[in-house]
Amino acid sequence: VLDHLGRIVWSRRPTTSELRGLSVYDLDGDKTLDIVVTAAVGSQMNTWIYNTAGVLRPGWPQLNGTSGYAYGVYNSNAAVHDLNKDGRGEIVVPSDVHYIAAYGPNGGQLPANVIYGTGKGWGKVGVWESLATELRGWGTCTAGDARAERYRTNFAHGASVIADVNGDGRFEVVVTGNVYDCAIGHPPGKYNGVYIFNADRSRFTGSGYDWRTVPVDTGAPLTEDYNVIENNVPNPAVADLDGDGKKEIVYASYDGRVHAFWLDKVKRGTWPYSVYSAAEGIPRFASEPVIADLDNDGRAEVIFTSWVKKGTNKTGKLHILNWLGTRLHEVALPLAFGADWNGALAAPTLANIDSDPDLEVVLNTAHSGFVAYDLPGTASARVLWRTGRGNFHRTGTAVPGPLPVVSIAATDAQAAEPGANPGVITLTRTGSTTAPLTVKLTLTGGATNGVDYRTLPTAITMPAGRVTLAVAITPLDDVVVEATEVVNVNIAASDAYRTGAPATAAVSILDND
């Protein structure tokens, strides 16, 4: 852990194995962030949580004991959020077994639905392609038996996401993993499967959608040999692509394609999108995507990168697709420096890194350093999945961040007819300014909107990039002798922001008759 000047605050080595996952989250609501670490270990003890002082939390590391099954974590698999809405953070950790562990903040397994048996936690329920086999609790893993007895899912590279997929106020867990035939063993994989679980580990159903049966045979691997091409990891990004209030699941797979599933398990438009061309004859894989409505038209764009087979002296690309999987832009990345292949394995990051109002996309390439590309016309973009694992805390969550706080003040509290001397109220917001923010207003007082002063809308949009916005209160001249009148501009409640103080601004209008 480093401070803001780059000085070491503390250092810990939880294991001699590689550390593959790092997230930060306030597990207790005490306004300090806890640090969740996962590792590519050869045992079931794969997750550690430290407080800000570098002290292990009580109950950690996990998995410790007989509460479930776990093994090495070979990707940034963990998702951290208040899954069950008890005011504390929960931690979901898929690993190199066909089980998913899920913990409370002090290391106890979250309980699984009794349909799986009395007293079981998440980590004791195996993930099978067939729900019937999953409910029974075991398959035969015998060659020649039915597929339902043999196909289960390994989560060595299987990342999880916590999201409210159908907008009903309850969180679900979305996870991808490598489906394999247990009569043969793992690897090889058959296809990357995708699942949605409720907080009690049962398979998701709701709003007319049913994930008790899951999409199958989504695409066989081009290769799983990292000596040929660096492995794909199927990290899901979860966001509303089409603006209907429901979230879609987008992930890249080892079949060389990027997949997008709607909650009805249908792929719309031209999805899946292939970065691999059989005619070219070499494998290409794609990164975890990021998602943003770049032009704020209500439909999101999907942005990702790709990389190529080793030894080809070729490079990957930056890809931008529309919500239906149609290619909008494709840019070749720089060639490698001192290596025989290039591309970008990590998810892109969307940020405004210069002085203009538009976003840039920042990439970490394999062999040509960091590169950044401008995204013109994105000043009003809505960013839905910003970076690897969704956010800079790397928590694997598709949930709203802290709401902005909006206040109002009269920066010129006196206006006068005939209008050459307007009053001014100024809106101020805190928090992210990446997206525009529409502020609702109510108008009270003795002055009448559109009669005593120029019509003031009751919803005003603060552009992206703006912390403050000045709004004129311009008097309308008349021939009526009047006393000084007052307009009170009040911030109205909205789900898009919290109301700060002051929440009311008053401007006096002086008569000239």
- Among 511, 507, 473, CA closest to 487: 507
**Predicted pLDDT at 464:** 84
Question: pLDDT digit string (tens) for 361-378?
Answer: 999 999 999 999 999 999
Bigger pLDDT: 187 or 417? 187
Handedness of CA 443, 446, 450, 452 (dihedral sign): negative
Question: pLDDT digit string (tens) for 101-153?
Answer: 999 999 999 999 999 999 999 999 999 999 999 999 999 999 999 999 999 99
**Residue 466 burial by CB count (10 A; 0-12/13-18/19+): exposed, middle or buried?**
middle
Question: pLDDT digit string (tens) for 453-484?
Answer: 999 999 999 998 899 999 999 999 877 777 89
CA angle 250, 384, 251 (to 5 degrees): 15
Bigger pLDDT: 41 or 434? 41
Percentage of the chain lying above the pLDDT 70 cut: 99
Domain borders along the chain are: 1-218, 227-401, 405-510
**Predicted pLDDT at 36:** 99
- Among 15, 155, 26, CA closest to 95: 155
CA distance 402 to 321: 29
Bigger pLDDT: 64 or 7? 7
Which residue reads 């898009």 in tokens? 496
CATH class of 405-510: mainly beta
Question: pLDDT digit string (tens) for 437-456?
Answer: 899 999 999 999 999 999 99
Statement: residue 402 has pLDDT above 70: no
**Predicted pLDDT at 418:** 80
